[in-house]
Amino acid sequence: MFTTLEAPPHATSPVGQKPGRIAARLSRVTTTGRYIPEIDGLRFVAIASVFLFHLATSEVLRRSSQDDITHHSEVLARVLGTGNFGVQAFFVISGFVLAIPFARHTLCAERGVVLRAYYLRRLTRLEPPYFLAMTLCYLLLIVTKGPSRAGLWPHLLVGFGYLNNVTFASDNPINAVAWSLEVEVEFYVLVPLLAMLFLVRRTWLRRMILAAAILVFAILGPVAAAQSPHLRDTILNYGQYFLAGFLLADLFVSGRLRPFHHPLVWDATAFVSGATIVLLQISVAQRQLLPGPAALADRLTPCLLPFACVLAYCGVFKGVLLRRALTLTWVTTIGGMCYSIYLLHDVVLQSLLPTMVPAIATGSFALNLVVVTAITATAVLALSVGYFVLIERPCMDPRWPSRLLARVRHGTGRWVRRLVRQRTSVSAW
């Protein structure tokens, strides 16, 4: 989802672009210096979808537009209401990003992955921004909602251990979006084990096994979630999307995702796949079908969605127009900051919407949405840029713990030497 990508040798760069000074300062720091801009373009689409989902489903915004619930407004709300699938899109990206080094080692006989360094990288890259954001959200709740919110400290502590989902079977009231990060961490732990799938040497067999594993998770995950709410937001219910990323990594490392220059073939594939994802989400959410077919759709949708994601992502890598759009500098720059945006956006919306929406309400859901999106997106982006530059981006440097420790030791040594000199001068006097 948010990890730094080690790209294969044929990684591409933004089409015909040279990042400006500001974009360079805000760009993602990669471990090896190799970079796949399409991934940050996809991150941009995913975070934009999640942001618009939280706006479109906001009760404050919908109540302000009750006098204008037209057919067009309802259609718009339904389409944007599928934006929560952006989280699953992030899961596919995580599977892709983390599978690539293992796939390169096994399939291309390249340098192996040191597990100690792998886990340490996850820890130093993602934990400081997450811990700080959760702490700030907790303090903000106490300040804005009253001292009673201090009683949420068990959610804070359990959230630090990424166990709020399985402990309380609900979103973390301190920061609701943290549920998906807990699923991500479960996946990070399992990646080396799942990567053993790449040991299958026959290409067709390996990909068939991956496809079968996707179907197994897609079928059994909802069953497990129905048995216990504590299993709903876990890797059991979302493993199919991470494995879809594994399948994409397999295709990418083997060179199957190189740009395809035939006009619009893969662009059309990506568009149709994206439209299919939206329609499947709407049909299940709204229960527009008869009871029998609706139950069948509920069972088929989890099986179809991961493969629709694979096709859509293939369209991005192999397409012409879509690839060009998603590798624009400003798109990849914002996409590269998606972790900071994801951590902060819901808190900003919860703080701004109750006071802002009544003040600018026009009576039209669509117009309200446009105005509110412009204002809140600006606020979220401004805050996220600051958080990214000050907190997240420094953590992208894998050497930051050792550098920080060296600075602490240097500063401590200077303080001790100064103290010794002072005592020596006092004694001499």
* Distance, CA of 157 to CA of 164 (rounded, Å): 9
pTM of the predicted model as reported, rounded to 2 decimal places: 0.90
CB 28 within 8 A of CB 396: yes
> What value does the mean pLDDT of the chain take?
86
Summarised one tens digit per residue, pLDDT across range 125-154 is 999 999 999 999 999 999 999 888 999 999
CB 303 within 8 A of CB 215: yes
- Grouping H, G, I as helix, E, B as strand and the rest as coil, residue 320 is coil
CA 329 to chain CA centroid, Å, is 19
What is the arithmetic mean of pLDDT over 159-174?
Answer: 95
What is the arithmetic mean of pLDDT over 35-39?
Answer: 91
Q: pLDDT class for 308, splitting at 50, 70, 90?
A: very high
* Distance, CA of 337 to CA of 355 (rounded, Å): 27
Compute the Cα dihedral for 13, 16, 18, 22 and give only its sign.
negative
CA angle 142, 147, 148 (to 5 degrees): 105
With a CB cutoff of 8 Å and minimum separation 6, the contacts of 392 are: 129, 337, 339, 340
Domain range summary for the chain, segments of one domain joined by +: 21-398, 399-429
Summarised one tens digit per residue, pLDDT across range 328-378 is 999 999 999 999 999 999 999 999 988 888 887 777 778 888 889 999 999
